[in-house]
A = this chain, B = another copy of it.
Amino acid sequence: MTLQFPITQVIQRPGIIDLGWGSPDPALIPVTELADSAATTISHMGPSALAYGAPQGPGPLIEWLSHHVLGEVNRQPQPERIVITAGASQALDLFCTLFVEPGDTVLVESPCFHLARKILLDHSARLAPLTSGVLGPDANELRETLAKLRSKGERCRLMYCIPTFNNPTGRSWPQHCRDAIIEVAAAEELTIIEDDVYRDCAYDEPAYASLFERAPDGIVVRLGSFSKTVGPGLRLGWLQAHPMVVSGITDSGLLDSGGGINHLTAMVMQQFCLAGHFDSHLERMRGALRERRDALVTSLAECLPPGCSWTVPNGGYYVWLELPRGSDVAQFLPIAESHGVSFLPGALFFLSGGGVTAVRLAFSMYSSQELCEASRRLGVAIREWMIHKNSSKSI
């Protein structure tokens, strides 16, 4: 019964440190501050926190967010460009309902978050990959890919990407790449959906300015979330876009009928943010995640055999590990699990081939000690697997 009707999505498998889950450690969630915020909100503002909410989200939270998402370039808060959503996934889902026509081709950064693809597919979009490497996607390739698709009669007006602390690679597009991609998008009337949920998890220096901030008006739709910084069970995020997009969303049947999409939680987070808890919590969260990032990359260096390489991300949740050339991660995964460690195979994040030798390691859910132990197990598993592969070959 417990297994059939569980409470949470994450299932812990006994004996396995599972670096596959892109979830924050429940121990890092600011439970006390959230309990206080919920009690205060409901006791003091109960009737308005429990009535149908304003479709855009509660005003004071939008005001707070409009300052929070301010970058270096646009120094004027723009609350009319924000709508509160039930997380970034729901924002993407509703955007697709309203702005993606079935059969539209959507460009998807590759590698990139596989479940965003699943949401796009649920809306009957076709997907086309745009390769993204250490330097981000190539602007010329974007222009050529668009031209090729459009010459075949495909309607391609949208691109989905995670330019900052990418899921799965942990990498960020350099600034010159951002500007080059924006230039092509503006010239080609391509709207960019910038999934920016990891921005606040910056460990070394501030993240590069977002595409939203650098681009001309109306080019970029940016998604943000409290899931990676406060708690994913809140199901609270936001979408930042041109006021025409925001009003398209607030005028949707879903919001017209139900009001604000997650009103009570939005009111609780409004209290949490206005009381100053967000800023102090984010500082602690960043510190804890930085320590974990360091623990993982340091222990990987100590434990993995030669031939392995990995990113050292400046932010986000993920380390992207490349196993020695010729490896097939699909074959390695069961061996790793038999050694008590798991992960997501890199191939999952590619739209059409690629990532066969790669592994996504999430360092967000485990303590530094557990991450060190995970590295040790990975090292043992890789060595054992390589010996086995080589001896199989020699037979």
**Interchain CB contact under 8 A, A51 and B8:** yes
Minimum CB distance partner of A365 in chain B: B51
The interface-forming segment of A226-234, A275-283, A291-299, A310-318 is A226-234
Decide if A52 is an interface residue (CB 8 Å cutoff): yes
Query: CA–CA, A26 to B38, complex, Å?
Result: 18
Question: Known contacts A51-B233, A52-B8, A59-B7: does B29 contact A258 (CB below 8 Å)?
Answer: no
Q: Identify which of B10, B52, B89, B233 contacts A233 (C-beta below 8 A).
A: B52
Q: Identify which of B7, B29, B89, B230 contacts A253 (C-beta below 8 A).
A: B89
- Residues 21-62 of A at the B interface (beta carbon under 8 Å): 23-24, 26-27, 29, 31-32, 34-35, 38-39, 42-43, 46-56, 58-60, 62
Interface centre among A56, A232, A235 (most CB of B within 10 A): A235
Minimum CB distance partner of A24 in chain B: B51
Question: Known contacts A43-B31, A48-B7, A232-B258: does B119 contact A253 (CB below 8 Å)?
Answer: yes
Is the contact region of chain A dominated by helix, strand, or loop, or is it mixed? Answer: helix
Q: Which residues of B contact A254 (CB under 8 A)?
A: 89-90, 93, 119, 122
Question: Known contacts A38-B42, A93-B97: does B7 contact A54 (CB below 8 Å)?
Answer: yes
Question: Known contacts A43-B35, A50-B29, A51-B231: does B118 contact A253 (CB below 8 Å)?
Answer: yes
Query: CA–CA, A348 to B273, complex, Å?
Result: 40
**Interchain CB contact under 8 A, A52 and B39:** no
**Interchain CB contact under 8 A, B42 and A34:** yes
Decide if A219 is an interface residue (CB 8 Å cutoff): no
Decide if A168 is an interface residue (CB 8 Å cutoff): no
Decide if A145 is an interface residue (CB 8 Å cutoff): no
Question: Known contacts A29-B47, A63-B5, A262-B235: does B53 contact A118 (CB below 8 Å)?
Answer: no
| Proximity bits, A246-276, B CB within 8 Å = 1, else 0 | 0000001110111111111101100000000
Assign chain A's interface to a size class: 35 or more
Q: Which residues of B contact A8 (CB under 8 A)?
A: 48, 51-54, 259
**Interchain CB contact under 8 A, A257 and B118:** yes
Q: Identify which of B93, B233, B253 contacts A50 (C-beta below 8 A).
A: B233
**Interchain CB contact under 8 A, B5 and A59:** yes
- Residues 108-144 of A at the B interface (beta carbon under 8 Å): 115-124
**Interchain CB contact under 8 A, A93 and B52:** no
Q: Which residues of B contact A170 (CB under 8 A)?
A: none
Q: Which residues of B contact A48 (CB under 8 A)?
A: 7-8, 26, 233
Query: CA–CA, A234 to B51, complex, Å?
Result: 8
A4 to chain B, nearest CB (A): 8
A380 to chain B, nearest CB (A): 30
Interface centre among A42, A98, A260 (most CB of B within 10 A): A42
Q: 15 additional contacts, CB 8 Å, given A29-B51, A93-B97, A262-B262? A: A9-B51, A26-B46, A26-B51, A27-B47, A50-B231, A50-B234, A53-B235, A86-B235, A93-B253, A101-B102, A102-B124, A115-B256, A227-B258, A232-B259, A235-B259
> Can you identify 28 A-B contacts, CB atoms within 8 angstroms?
A4-B59, A5-B60, A7-B53, A7-B59, A8-B54, A9-B259, A9-B260, A10-B51, A26-B46, A29-B46, A32-B43, A35-B43, A49-B233, A52-B233, A53-B233, A86-B258, A87-B258, A90-B254, A90-B258, A97-B97, A117-B253, A118-B252, A118-B253, A231-B264, A232-B259, A233-B264, A233-B267, A265-B265
